[in-house]
Amino acid sequence: MSFKTETCAQCGNLFSYDDSLFGRKPEWGGGMLGGYLCSNCANQRKQEQQLKAFREDDRKRQEMDNIIRENEEDDRYQREQREQRRNQELQRQAEYESANPGEYECPNCLYITLKRNASRCPKCHGTVSSSYWYTINKREAEAQEQARLEADEWERARPQREAAERALKKTKAKRKATIIICSIIGPFLIAGIIAVFSGYSFSRGIEKLVEIITMIIFLPIAIGFLFLIYKIWAFFAGD
C-alpha cells in the first residue's frame, strides 16, 4: 500500500489516501483550481447534491400539481359556465312558455296565448273577432293546399325522374362497356392491320394468292367475331 497526502480543496485540511493500484481515489473537488476533497467534505457535498436534487424534484412536483389544479379549476369553471347558460336558457324557455301558453298570437297583446277559435285572450282579456280567425283559417288552408299541390307535383314528376336516372345509368354503362371492349379488341385490331399490310408488302406470287383466299375464308369469321363483340357490348350497356 502506498499512501499519499493531499490538501482538501474545500476545507484546506490535510488527509491521506491509498495511492496504490487498487486504492480508492478521493473525490475530485472540481472548481477553477481543482483538487481533491477529504471524506467529510465529499460526504457533505454529496448530501448537498442529494438535497438539491430532492428540492428540484419537489419543485417540479409542485409545478405539476399546480398545472393539474389549474386544469381542474378551468374544467370546473367551464362546466359551471355551461350549466349556468343551460339554466338561463331553460329559465328563458320557461318564461316564454309561461307568457305564451297558447297556439296563436293575440292581436291585442301580441303574446301567443290563444287557443284555436278563442273569443277572448286569457292574458290581456281582449276580445278576438271572428274575422281574425277567418283570416287565420284561410291562411292555414292555403298553406295546406299549397303543400298538397307541391306533393302532387313531386309525385307526378316521379316517372320523369326515374327515367332520367335510368338514362344516366345506361349512359354510364355504355361508356364503361365501350372502354372495356376497345381495350380488348384494340390491340388485336392494330396487330391484324399491321400483319395484313406486312403480308401484302412482302408476299410474292402464289403466297399472295393464298393470303387473299385466306382472308376471304376468314372474313365471315371476323364478321361473326365483331358481331359477338357487339352483343357483349350491348349486354354490358343494357340494351
Tens of pLDDT along 71-122?
Answer: 888 899 999 999 999 999 999 888 888 888 888 999 998 888 898 889 999 8
Q: Is residue 129 part of a domain?
A: yes
Q: Is residue 125 part of a domain?
A: yes
Q: How many domains does the chain have?
A: 3
What letter would DSSP give residue 15? E
Its pTM stands at 0.37
Its domain, for residue 10, covers 1-97
**Same-domain pairing of 37 and 93:** yes
Q: Is residue 106 part of a domain?
A: no
Per-residue model confidence (pLDDT) at position 24 = 77
Q: Which of 169, 161, 159, 164 is nearest to 239 (CA)?
A: 169
Which H or E run contains 7? strand 3-7
Q: Is residue 107 part of a domain?
A: no
3-state DSSP assignment of residue 119 = coil
Q: What is the dihedral of CA 81, 87, 93, 96, to 10 degrees?
A: -100
Q: Is residue 187 part of a domain?
A: yes
Per-residue model confidence (pLDDT) at position 30 = 63
Region 147-157: what's the mean pLDDT?
Answer: 90
**Same-domain pairing of 25 and 89:** yes
Q: Is residue 211 part of a domain?
A: yes
